[in-house]
Amino acid sequence: MTDNMGLAPERSDREALLRYQTASLQRVSRTFALTIPCLPAGLQEAVGNGYLLCRIADTIEDDPLLDGEEKAHWQKVFLQVLRREVPAAEFAAGFGARMATEMPAGEHDLIAHSAEVVALTHSFNAIQQAALIRCVEIMGEGMAEYQRRASRAGLIDQADMDRYCYVVAGVVGEMLTTLFLEHEPRMRDGGAPLEALAVSFGQGLQMTNILKDLWTDWERGVLWLPRDRLQAHGLEPEALQPGMRDPRFQGFLQEMLALAAQHLRDALTFTLQIPAEQTGMRDFCLWALAMAVLTLRRIAENPGFRSGAEVKISRDSVRTMILLSRLLHRFDPLLDLAFRVATKPLPRAPL
């Protein structure tokens, strides 16, 4: 195989790179290892690669031993690798030597094989490469900024939270939109603002993760919720504690659940722009959407939860969701009805 600063890989090399990508997805994300294979050939490979690139950026930010400046440095180096300005092997060796040993084994393996991941990136067409690199650039710079600011004081306001959700998830929605349209241009035929819907889709998923991981993040000294909305309910961030049932916090939580559900409504609108016969593309979106809705419902049912494990959806729920998706994925009215039924227990945002 060639380094990322050499020529594109030969066919036999590319097949080996794809085999590594598939194996790595299994190690670092059970969710995406489940959903990415739904996608049609050609799109599946680019989306899987995009996920691994984002995971490398996440790994840099998640390392508990690196300070903000060093994380920003490695994000910059990784972007230079993608731009063919620095050899991937140099990044893999340098950052790999700095990684905390307690980081997951799958992520250590991913960093060690980052040259293979990037070599596959450089085998895609110009549109796909540009979408992937843009996503990593915005995500890496944005995460570095927010990690420097991370504390239990929370984010400044709702606009700040929206921006945070954009750099860690909304930009992924934009990347997926570019890749989806390159594969299936008919998505434009519905006239919907796909890029805006995709950003909202990403925010719905990210807000779900923020709420689910609220107390795990809190224990490590981080709060990703908007301080102004807490204060509007008569609370200061410092007053929060796991399992709290204070009516003021419960009111705030209801507001966040309603906002997340509203973004997930946009996720359904985005999904319905995919032509009905592209069932794999629809399933990819529907499964992520459905798991987020089920998680929000679990939080709504148990608002005094103390950890993400208490609101984790069951494997039986996932299996049922997959079955329903496969039964309904061609039928827009039935998908709309299923969404309305599934979100009925959730609070509604005021008009």
Spans of all domains in the chain: 10-124, 150-351
Question: Which of these, 286, 295, 293, lies nearest to 324 by C-alpha position?
Answer: 286
Mean pLDDT for 200-212 is 98
Residue 34 banded pLDDT, cuts 50, 70, 90:
confident
Which backbone phi and psi does 226 adopt, to 5 degrees? Answer: -75, 125
For the chain, the average pLDDT equals: 94
Neighbours of 64 (CB within 10 A): 8
CATH of domain 150-351: 1.10.600.10
Contact of 28 with 52, CB cutoff 8 Å: yes
- pLDDT for res 6: 46
For residues 51 and 41, the answer to whether their CB atoms sit within 8 Å is: no
Token pair of 268 as six digits: 């359904």
pLDDT at 5 over 90: no
Cβ contact 19:113 at 8 Å = no
Rounded-to-integer distance, Cα 33 and Cα 31, Å: 5
220: pLDDT strictly greater than 60 = yes
What are the pLDDT digits (tens) for 112-131? 999 999 999 999 999 999 99
- pLDDT at residue 90, as a whole number: 96
Nearest to 290 by CA among 255, 328, 251, 318: 318
Confidence of residue 8 (pLDDT cuts 50, 70, 90): low
Rounded CA-CA distance 167/140 in Å is: 8
Distance CA 176, CA 131 (A): 8
Question: Looking at residues 340-351, what average pLDDT do you find?
Answer: 86
Cβ-based burial of 284 (10 A; exposed 0-12, middle 13-18, buried ≥19): buried
